[in-house]
Amino acid sequence: MSGFPVAKARPATERVRLVKAACLSLLLALAAHAEITAPPLAFTDRTLANGLRVIALEDHSTPIAAIQIWYRVGSKDDPAGRSGFAHLFEHMMFKGTKRMPNETLDRLTEDVGGENNAFTQDDVTAYHETVPSNHLERLIWAEAERLSSLMVDAKNFSTERDVVKEEFRQSVLAQPYGEFGEWIPKVSFTEHPYKRPTIGNIEELDSSSLEEVRKFHATFYRPDNAVLVVAGDFDPADLQRWVDQYFGPIPKPEEPIPRVTVKEPARSGERTLRDSSPKIPLPALAVTYLGPAITSDETPALEVLQQALSGGESSRLYRVLVYEKELVQSAEFAADLRMDLGLLTFQLVLASGVDIAKARAALLQEISKVADAPITDLELQTAKNQLLAGQLAARETLDGKASALAEAAAIRGDPALVNTDLAKLEAVTAAQVQASAKKWFTEKNRLVLEYLPAAEPAKKGKK
Amino acid sequence: MKTLLLLLLASFATGFAVEIEGIPRPAAPRPAEILVPKEKTLANGLRVIVVERPGVPLLTAEFIVRSGSEIDPEKLAGTAKFTASLLTQGTENRTAPQIASEVESLGASLSADAGWDSIHVTLKTLSANADAAFAILAEVARKPKFAPEEIERHRRQALDDLRLEMERPGYVARAVAVRALLGRSPYAHPADGTLASLLRIKRGDIAALHERAFVPGNCVLVMAGNVTSEQGFGLAEKAFGDWAIAKTAAPALPKPAVEKPRAILVDLPHAGQAAVYVGGPGLARADDAFTLAEVTNAVLGTGYSSRLNQEIRVKRGLSYGASSALATSREFGLFGASCQTKNESAAEVVALIETELKRLANDPIADDYFASRKEVLTGNFSRDLETNDGYVKRVAELALNGLPLDALAHHVERIRAVDAEAVRPFGGKYLAPEAMTVVVAGRAKDVEKPLRAVFPNLEVIPQSKLDLDTAPAAKKTK
């Protein structure tokens, strides 16, 4: 059931890095002295008079073209009382325009051997297609068409809203820990709209109207709020001609784009919240800390920390909590960094019969350890090699390359970062990883969430 | 040297019924390259297949044993998967933490799993580290220790995993349907095992399964990535060349007979959504009619604009997505349509699926729609061939089912050659609603009444009484 427009496809780290495999394993006598290189992404970057940023990467390795158009609007921009609206709107973008019937994007992609999808995050909404390259011009036309106008009638609006409600039921209600996952941001942020779950909730989805759809399109879907990336098998002169022809005439509105300016206050002391659910067989525990924005200099160190704590079976949380102490069924740490600020989240599902206080104490001990002492050389090199391999794999496809460029341009403001991220990652030291852990993993900045099996649903609240 | 076959992969279709003011026409399609796998059988009988993909400095390798969960001993459902999971948890020379640390420090990953007809160990590595990574791959496949403490640790984890899965309506509906469809066949039980069977598996069962199935002549090693075929064969020879020939090989299994259709409701009182599964007999992957089955299934349930998704999601907003799939083994296959919907709509969704099954058998398919459904399949294929993992998946599927590797080069033309006129008789023969077993996992309070109106013989199983351990799956309670 993948392949449909989805909410919240937020990969922990999707930035692509180039490459030098570390010489590691002195400890292991496996010395893999490998200088691995891959060419930088040789893209072009221009901005049209109406503000649309256009990034192109010519690559004829396969007769495919990948298109990504990212808008700088996300669930943090949901209107008041309309949690889930940006994502609901994403679904409406697959309806029609004056000239284009509903679901034309599917006709232009999957009917000819291509695919399309979209996702909404807190900061951005991204639409992407992969097509046989002889169909590229039609997609440039269609993306311009749905940016310049959108026509959704009452029937389509209501049916597609029902689809989103089913998406909510499938991703939240039908998952044992679905509501737990929604609860974490709700209580981790107090002021910033990052506290709203991207998928929203049934009541607020039901309150939304067709008029609000029109208004949202007019407010945020404008060329100066978008980044278009095309990667693949095309002649660059053709591509730029199509972009000028179809996107060029779209006007740039006079009004400024509204931006979220709310600042999340620093936390003032450790808190513990408890809740319960009748549909979980095992207790769960989360510990969150507010963290830096994604553009912070600390980002590479936090990516290494994430990998060292929870990437694979050699990572600390797996080795200590799952394998050695057998306290938990799963243990994850995510440095979820966003445009305005980040959230550093530990999430555990306990093993059968384990007392939650014991799991909590063991987790807090591991958190203290990374703040009190540097990770080992082996941990550092393993993390770097894993990040390197993951990012090489993410760049195997044209869609992966286009996505990396779009993320760097739309979220971090500079597509060229795709060619410098790796050097920054390679330069990370164990001392920097420790310094970041020490800075953020303080008692004052800590929120603990305990989620227990219950006979019947309980009210959320402090106990 | 590498040979390339040229094939017109880029599409000829222009999309069904797209007549839009201002839209440009598609250009001429451009040819795609399909790489030809190279193969060699080592002296001990291990078949090795290499796809050369120079460029990105990565390599994916899959070591496949051609026996899987169907050789789980009687009453010991889950043994093959248990065995697979233990491979990376300690060998004669390395402990589990040592394996994890060494593999991951190389920028590699190593995982193992089992399903119908196969146990596979998958290695993904930086190609520069292939030598060291292959040494560990071979060691976990050939010399696992099955230490008692690892067995107990894994048993606890597998039980907890299963407790979580059993709360997911989609998992429950499918597992119950397969159990009901395949009755007492060796393929009927859940590959994950059951809460009862996992407690019964002993070290001796695991070691015996390993000894019986992990023999060179019963295995295939497939790799794709930044190696030449000579390098790939060299890696295989070094890691597996001294693996002794053993006589045993997995026995042929009887072809399962599909049981009489049933209608079952599993009552999950806390389910926030109901899962619907409508399943029946399918075809073996190597069956001559498989491509026809795949195209027929694509009309019904592959992709966003398939009929099921159109009717259930796009037109009525009843689900986030409805689809159908063909599960295959060497001996037989199953068809299954599935979908999740709010509890109150479950019966309506079952009726919509049955309507679409009838329509396949009765109504002609418009030419442009039919062409577009075939392109969904060719598109999935062409995107798979963008990655090492995708090549390995496609090649392994051929190798496991005894199909020639050059089928890769003819895949697209075979799909395009399927005639719309063949779909109706095929649909009537294989996908008739009366042959289907219907399972809904959801809240009986909301599901039962409307569902019983359609299926007077509906069997209702409370979550607490659900027993996947023995056939038949259900005891009639009403």
CB A271 within 8 A of CB A443: no
Neighbouring C-beta atoms of residue B419, cutoff 10 Å: 9
Closest CA to A124 of A418, A338, A306, A342: A338
Provide the CA B188 distance to its chain's centre, in angstroms: 15
pLDDT at position B256 is: 81
Summary mean pLDDT of chain A: 90
pLDDT over 50 (residue A116):
yes
Asked if A309 and A348 touch (Cβ cutoff 8 Å), the reply is no
Strand partners, A272: A448
> Which chain B residues touch A104 with a CB distance below 8 Å?
18, 20
- Average confidence (pLDDT) over A43-55: 98
- Segment A367-375 shows an average pLDDT of 98
Percentage of chain A beyond pLDDT 70 is 90
Chain B residues touching A36 at Cβ < 8 A: 57, 126, 128
Binary contact (B105, A142; C-beta < 8 A): no
pLDDT for the residue numbered B257: 82
In terms of CA atoms, which chain B residue is nearest residue A279? Answer: B270
B388 contacts A382? CB cut-off 8 A: no
Residues in B closer than 8 angstroms to A91, CB to CB, are: none
Residue A341, pLDDT score? 97
The residue of chain A with its CA nearest to that of B384 is A397
Sequence-ordered list of residues with C-beta below 8 angstroms from that of A174, at least 6 positions apart, any chain: B168, B169, B170, B271, B272, B273, B275, B340
pLDDT for residue A289 is more than 60: yes
Of residues A217 and B2, more confidently modeled: A217
How far does A261 lie from chain B, in Å, by closest CA? 34
| Arithmetic mean of pLDDT, A333-337 | 98
b/e map A210-236, b = 16+ CB within 10 Å: eebbeebbebbbbbbbbbbbbbbbbee
What is the predicted pLDDT for the residue at B97? 98
Tell me the nearest-neighbour CA distance from B423 into chain A, angstroms.
Answer: 19
Chain-chain contact of B383 with A397 (C-beta, under 8 angstroms): yes
Q: Are A388 and A314 in contact (CB under 8 A)?
A: no
Tell me whether A25 touches chain B (CB under 8 Å).
yes
Contact with chain B for residue A326, Cβ under 8 A: yes
Q: What is the mean pLDDT of residues B452-474?
A: 86
Note whether B101 contacts A108, CB cutoff 8 Å: no
Q: Is A277 left (phi over 0), alpha (psi -120 to 50) or beta?
A: beta
Buried b or exposed e, range A82-92, using 16+ CB within 10 angstroms: bbbbbbbbbbb
> Does the beta-carbon distance from A133 to B10 stay under 8 Å?
yes
d(CA A282, CA A226) in angstroms, rounded, equals 44
Residues in chain A with CB shorter than 8 Å from the CB of B415 are: none
From B29, B104, B320, residue closest to A166, measured CB to CB: B320
Query: For the segment B291-313, what is each residue's pLDDT rounded down to a tens digit?
Result: 999 999 999 999 999 999 999 99
Instruction: Check residue B250 and give its pLDDT.
Output: 63
**Number of C-beta neighbours around residue B110 at 10 A:** 24
Residue B6 corresponds to which tokens in the numbers above?
């040229």
pLDDT of residue B349: 98
Asked whether residue A17 carries a pLDDT value surpassing 50, the answer given is no
Task: Indicate whether B9 pLDDT > 80.
Answer: no
Claim: this prediction has a pTM higher than 0.95: no
Query: Is A206's Cβ below 8 Å from some Cβ in B?
Result: no
Q: What pLDDT sits at residue A456?
A: 55
The arithmetic mean of pLDDT across residues B117-134, rounded, is: 97
How confident is residue B19, by pLDDT bands cut at 50, 70 and 90? confident
| DSSP H or E stretch at residue B325 | strand B322-328
What pLDDT is attached to residue A5? 33
Q: Is the confidence at residue A11, as pLDDT, over 80?
A: no
3-class SS of residue A440: helix
pLDDT at residue B32, rounded to an integer: 87
Angle at B300 between CA B296 and CA B304, to 5 degrees: 125
Q: What number is the average pLDDT over the span B127-140? A: 97
Residue pair B194/B469 in contact by the 8 Å Cβ criterion:
yes
pLDDT at site B21: 87
b (16+ CB within 10 A) / e for A391-408: bbbbbbbbbbbbbbbbbb
Edge-to-edge order in the sheet of strand B333-341? B322-328, B333-341, B274-281, B437-442, B263-267, B459-462
Q: Which residues of B touch A163 (CB under 8 A)?
A: 313, 317, 319-320
Find, in chain A, the residue whose alpha carbon is nearest to that of B316: A159
Torsions phi, psi of B35, nearest 5? -75, 145
Q: Which residue has tokens 């996107």?
A: A247
Question: Is any Cβ of chain B less than 8 angstroms from the Cβ of A172?
Answer: yes
Q: What is the pLDDT of residues B420-444, one digit of tens each?
A: 999 999 999 999 999 999 999 999 9
A141:B159 CB<8 A? no
Residue range B391-407: average pLDDT?
96
Inter-chain CB proximity B96 and A323 less than 8 Å: yes
> Taking a contact as any Cβ pair under 8 Å apart, which residues of chain A between 236 and 295 contact chain B?
242, 278-282
What does the pLDDT read at residue A294?
Answer: 97
Side chain identity at A229, as an amino acid letter? V
Contact B26 A138 (CB under 8 A): yes
pLDDT above 90 covers a percentage of chain A that reads: 89
Residues of chain A contacting residue B303, judged by C-beta atoms under 8 Å apart: 3, 110
- Judge: A389–B372 Cβ closer than 8 Å, yes or no: no
pLDDT value for A459: 47
Q: How far is B33 from chain A (nearest CA, A)?
A: 8
A364 pLDDT more than 70: yes
Helix ranges (H only) for B280-344 are 290-301, 307-309
State yes or no: pLDDT of A315 exceeds 50: yes
A184: nearest Cα among A166, A169, A170, A172: A172
Mean pLDDT across the stretch B268-286? Answer: 95
A163 touches chain B (CB under 8 A): yes
What are the structure tokens assigned to B221, written together?
């090693």
pLDDT of B248 reads 65
| Average pLDDT estimate for A449-453 | 97
Q: Identify the pLDDT of residue A458.
A: 47
Residue B1 banded pLDDT, cuts 50, 70, 90: very low
Chain B residue with CA closest to A390: the answer is: B107
Per-residue model confidence (pLDDT) at position B471: 60
pLDDT digits (tens, 9 = 90+) for A178-195: 999 999 999 999 999 999
Of the candidate ranges A14-18, B323-327, B365-369, the one whose mean pLDDT is the lowest: A14-18
Residue A53, min C-alpha distance to chain B (Å): 23
How does residue B168 score in pLDDT terms, banded at 50, 70 and 90?
very high
Q: How many helices (H) and strands (E) does chain B have?
A: 16, 14
- My answer on whether omega of the bond before B472 falls inside 30° of 0, hence cis, is yes
Cβ distance B219 to B399 under 8 Å? no
Q: Is the pLDDT of residue A322 over 70?
A: yes
- A283: pLDDT strictly greater than 80: yes
Helical H runs in A34-103?
A: 85-92
Say yes or no for a CB contact (<8 Å) between B167 and A103.
no
Residue with tokens 């440095």: A335
CB atoms A112 and B379 under 8 Å: yes
pLDDT at A223 over 90: yes
Task: Determine the residue among A110, A129, A354 to mutate to test chain B binding: the one whose Cβ has the most chain B Cβ atoms within 10 Å.
Answer: A110
User: CB–CB of A166 and B318 under 8 A?
Assistant: yes
- Maximal C-alpha separation, chain A: 67
